[in-house]
């Protein structure tokens, strides 16, 4: 059926304009919300990496690797977004939280570390899982490097659910 009247044509045009602009606004807002979530996660990860590196320095300097492993396990259980932790010193893994050992590909990723700042890298696993990987120096790098991985899946999940909720309100 073709719209013959001006009233029908205007109704369709206004409806399309309202729905289209609503979807565009929803997309822009969720994109900014996603960016804000990533920035918040990066700040949380940086704070956790700094705290764990300070705590690990003592155990590494006195060569108490059992205490280092227990400390890493404790932080893994207390931070749900944390995917992995490991400490590398002179190319040797001192402690880690992987059940099957540290993946060799992960060791070569994110090696750039400054003396007093960490380095962030967005990485993806072979199973297409996305992580924010942080390399943080322990005792200015003299006691090794802490590697910490935060799962980004939760943020993508929140982003998609929020976008679907906001678009369902519009339509």
CATH of the domain at 118: 3.30.450.20
- For residue 152, how many other CB atoms are within 10 A of its CB? 20
pLDDT tens-digit readout, 94-135: 999 999 999 999 998 987 777 778 899 999 888 888 899 999
Tell whether 145 is covered by a domain.
yes
Tell whether 20 is covered by a domain.
no
126 CB-near residues (< 8 Å, 6+ apart): 105
Tell whether 4 is covered by a domain.
no
Cα distances (Å, whole numbers) of residue 107 to 47, 70, 93, 131, 161: 22, 21, 9, 14, 34
Q: Is-contact 89 105, C-beta < 8 A?
A: no
Kindly report the pTM of this predicted structure.
0.77
Range from 38-42, 136-140, 159-163 that averages highest in pLDDT: 136-140
State the pLDDT confidence band at 4, using cuts at 50, 70 and 90. confident
Q: Position of tokens 């006195």?
A: 62
When mean pLDDT is compared across 14-18, 42-46, 167-171, the lowest value belongs to 167-171
> Which domain covers residue 92, as residue numbers?
41-154
Q: How would you classify the pairing of strands 82-89 and 145-151?
A: antiparallel
- For residue 90, how many other CB atoms are within 10 A of its CB? 7
Tell whether 6 is covered by a domain.
no
Q: Is-contact 107 125, C-beta < 8 A?
A: no
Average confidence score pLDDT of the chain: 87
More confident residue, 51 or 34: 51
Q: How many domains is the chain partitioned into structurally?
A: 1
Structure tokens at 142: 């003299």
Cα distances (Å, whole numbers) of residue 36 to 3, 13, 30, 146: 45, 34, 10, 25
Tell whether 85 is covered by a domain.
yes
């Amino acid at each position: 059926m073709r719209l013959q009247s001006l009233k029908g044509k205007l109704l369709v045009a206004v409806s399309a304009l309202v729905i289209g602009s609503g979807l565009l606004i929803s997309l822009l807002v969720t994109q900014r919300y996603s960016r804000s979530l990533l920035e918040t996660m990066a700040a949380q990860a940086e704070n956790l990496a700094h705290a764990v590196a300070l705590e690990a320095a003592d155990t590494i300097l006195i060569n108490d690797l059992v205490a280092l492993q227990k400390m890493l396990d404790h932080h893994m259980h207390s931070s749900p977004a944390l995917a992995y932790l490991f400490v590398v010193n002179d190319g040797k893994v001192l402690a880690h939280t992987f059940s099957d050992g540290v993946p060799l590909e992960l060791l070569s990723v994110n090696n750039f570390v400054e003396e007093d700042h960490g380095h962030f890298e967005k990485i993806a696993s072979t199973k297409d899982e996305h992580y924010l990987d942080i390399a943080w120096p322990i005792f200015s790098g003299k006691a090794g490097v802490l590697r910490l991985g935060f799962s980004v899946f939760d943020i993508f999940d929140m982003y998609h659910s929020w976008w679907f909720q906001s678009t369902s309100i519009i339509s």
